[in-house]
Copies of this chain bind each other. A is one copy, B any other.
Amino acid sequence: MNVLIVHAHPEPQSFTTAMKDLAVQELSNAGHQVEVSDLYAMNFNPVASAADFGSRKNPDYLVYALEQRINYENQTIAPDIAAEIEKLVAADLVIFSFPLYWFSIPAILKGWIDRVLVSGLTYGGKRFYDQGGLKGKKALLSFTLGGREHMFGADAIHGEIETMLRPVLRGTLYYVGMDVLPPFIGYHVPYISPEARQQILEDYKQYLQNLDQLQPLEFPTLDQFDDKLYPKKGEH
């Protein structure tokens, strides 16, 4: 497999970085090709703007997704975006490695999504969900957070972690057609012992060795909806 790890942590010595390094090592040892986009190290620009486009379909009024599609087709999209797209297209598995900020991804990683998941290539019209442009690729969120595991769940104070992450898991990764694997989560990381951290690394190693056995998360498929995307009668 070709693996792309998109990593976003402001501290190079962080535990999240140790998890990323472990993934590089384990997946390389298993014979996979691993590429890393370390967004902080790259000083990646997360701000979607007119500067992303070398040419303009409409120079007077920016419709970002439209210009993405045209500029991707014409190979006039900004070089930093083109470089990330190239890695993405080559990848069979994309791992997103980050600390949870506000129950979501850090801004620098959100900007990677905003800018790199270009219209045309990754989605467009009815090409989304199980028909998305990145169909056949797998995606995995691998992240750390401060809260404890019991703070997440149906009756827990923050509800299900998968629900908090819905805009990423379903609204982004599944939207572009990827098989979204269950997230790997390091809980309570800032507060735990070195031994507990070591255990998380062991668990992650196991997780990575069993990637093939993991069932992707389940989401609605387009065949459950009619041409105008209303639910088909009797199916709901």
Residues of chain A touching chain B, judged by Cβ–Cβ distance below 8 Å, are 10-11, 13-14, 40, 46-50, 61-65, 101-108, 110-111, 113-114, 117, 129, 146, 148, 150-151, 155-159, 163-168, 170-172, 175, 190, 220, 222, 224-225, 228-231, 236
Contacts and interface: CB of A to CB of B under 8 A. Distances in A.
A49 B48 CA distance: 19
A63 B16 CA distance: 12
**Nearest 4 A/B pairs, CB to CB:** A103-B171, A107-B111, A103-B167, A46-B107
Q: Which of A65, A105, A106 has the most CB of B within 10 A?
A: A106
Nearest to A219: B159
Contacts of A175: 102-103
18 contacts: A10-B50, A10-B62, A40-B47, A40-B49, A48-B106, A63-B190, A102-B171, A103-B166, A103-B167, A103-B170, A103-B172, A106-B110, A106-B114, A107-B111, A151-B229, A155-B231, A155-B236, A159-B170
Nearest to A220: B157
**What number of copies of this chain does the assembly contain?**
2
Contacts of A236: 155
A50 B157 CA distance: 31
Contact of A47 (B11, B107, B224): B107
A102 B40 contact: no
B48 A10 contact: yes
Contact of A64 (B10, B50, B62, B129): B10
Nearest to A221: B157
Q: Which of A11, A62, A168, A171 has the most CB of B within 10 A?
A: A171
Contacts of A156: 231
Given A46-B108, A108-B111, 4 more contacts: A104-B172, A107-B107, A107-B113, A107-B114
Given A231-B155, A231-B156, A11 B106 contact: no
